[in-house]
Amino acid sequence: MTPQVQAIDAALVAAHEHHDVRDTQAFGFWLYILSDLILFSSLFATFAVQMRSFAGGPTGKDLFDLRYVAVETLLLLLSSASYGVAMLALQEGRSARVIRWLGITFLLGLGFILMEVHEFYGLVVAGHGPNHSGFLSAYFTLVGTHGTHVTFGLIWMLAMMFQVGLKGLSKPVEGRLLRLSVFWHFLDIVWIGVFSVVYLLGVM
């Protein structure tokens, strides 16, 4: 076998292994999204069972301020839109623009989390913590789990901004950005469910 043939064979093997790694990463990520879907479905079901278990305490109508939650929702929806603009910049190969729009997305998501933490703090200080009733326990678990996922997404987003700055828009970085995009939009969809089931139905 000539050196040229050996080099071609080595290149083909390397390309095949790289393709296998990318497929494995994509498969693992979708398994994770599926497990998250099951998790949130279980939490929504639990909330549906407990949503009228007030134990003589306050109801959602007593506690929730829809105008405040509407601002939270707007921040998350805008963050989803800004991430979409970052993906357009990714397709154009403009790394600086990707970083800029990821930064905007991060700030919007951070605003959402800070508002949620403020909301939780206010409830706990007023004596309406998760141990007060089945309703509040289910509420804090569902909304808090979503907030934890958003926080993880923000950490991931920071890491991706650094990676784009250091490595540019390489194929591995592009794959991670696309997976983060799916994760972020998934959280947006979950929040629409939270807003509808927990807050809108809660004030009725």
Q: Residue 38: is it exposed, middle or buried by C-beta count within 10 angstroms (0-12/13-18/19+)?
A: exposed
By C-alpha distance, which of 72, 30, 84 is closest to 198? 72
pLDDT at site 98 = 97
Q: At what angle do helices 171-194 and 3-50 cross, to 10 degrees?
A: 10
Number of domains in the chain: 1
Q: What is the share, in percent, of the chain residues with pLDDT greater than 90?
A: 82
Q: Residue 167: is it exposed, middle or buried by C-beta count within 10 angstroms (0-12/13-18/19+)?
A: exposed
Query: What CATH number does the domain containing 18 carry?
Result: 1.20.120.80
Cα dihedral 36, 160, 89, 169, rounded to 10, equals -120
Query: What's the rounded mean pLDDT across residues 98-124?
Result: 97
Query: What's the rounded mean pLDDT across residues 6-26?
Result: 56
Confidence of residue 54 (pLDDT cuts 50, 70, 90): very high
Confidence of residue 15 (pLDDT cuts 50, 70, 90): very low
Q: What is the share, in percent, of the chain residues with pLDDT greater than 70?
A: 90
State pLDDT tens for residues 135-187. 999 999 999 999 999 999 999 999 999 999 999 999 999 999 999 999 999 99
Identity of the highest mean pLDDT range in 41-45, 128-132, 172-176: 41-45
Token pair 């141990």 is found at 131
Interatomic CA distance for residues 153 and 191, integer angstroms: 14
Contact 204, 191 (CB under 8 A): no
Distances (CA, A) of 183 to 80, 81, 100, 114, 177: 10, 14, 19, 20, 10
Give the pTM.
0.87
List the domain range (segments joined by +) for residue 88.
3-200
